Amino acid sequence: MAKQQISIRIDRVTEQQIAELREMDNSTQTDVISRAVERYHQERTDEMAGKVKIKYDGKVIGSVVTNRSHTMEELLRLAGYDPDGKDPYGEPWAWELLETE
């Protein structure tokens, strides 16, 4: 599909954020906006599909696609972890470091 140029209005804060991102990786404004839209689209798609990300100490350690609620223990098992065993670092699970998104 050929890319078509369009015009959009953005606020000054967003414009500044785009400029900062452009400077970080020396990319174009179009690239920054395209990546942001792709990421936003993927996040919404995951939400609609019922994809639950499991985070441990702030890092994603797995994900599960489901259409119902689960306990953290169930989610760990579904993601391939033993909740009675060791965390990804070889230590006993620190349950307070687990969260879902």
Other residues' Cβ atoms within 10 Å of the Cβ of residue 26: 7
For 6-36, write each residue's pLDDT tens digit: 888 889 998 999 899 899 889 898 889 989 9
Measured CA to CA, the distance from residue 34 to residue 29 in angstroms comes to 8
Domain extents in the chain? 12-48, 50-100
Give the closest residue to 48 by CA, choosing from 57, 56, 40: 40
pLDDT at 51: 86
| Inter-residue contact 101 to 52 (CB < 8 Å) | yes
pLDDT at 1: 65
pLDDT at 77: 95
Stated pTM of the model: 0.54
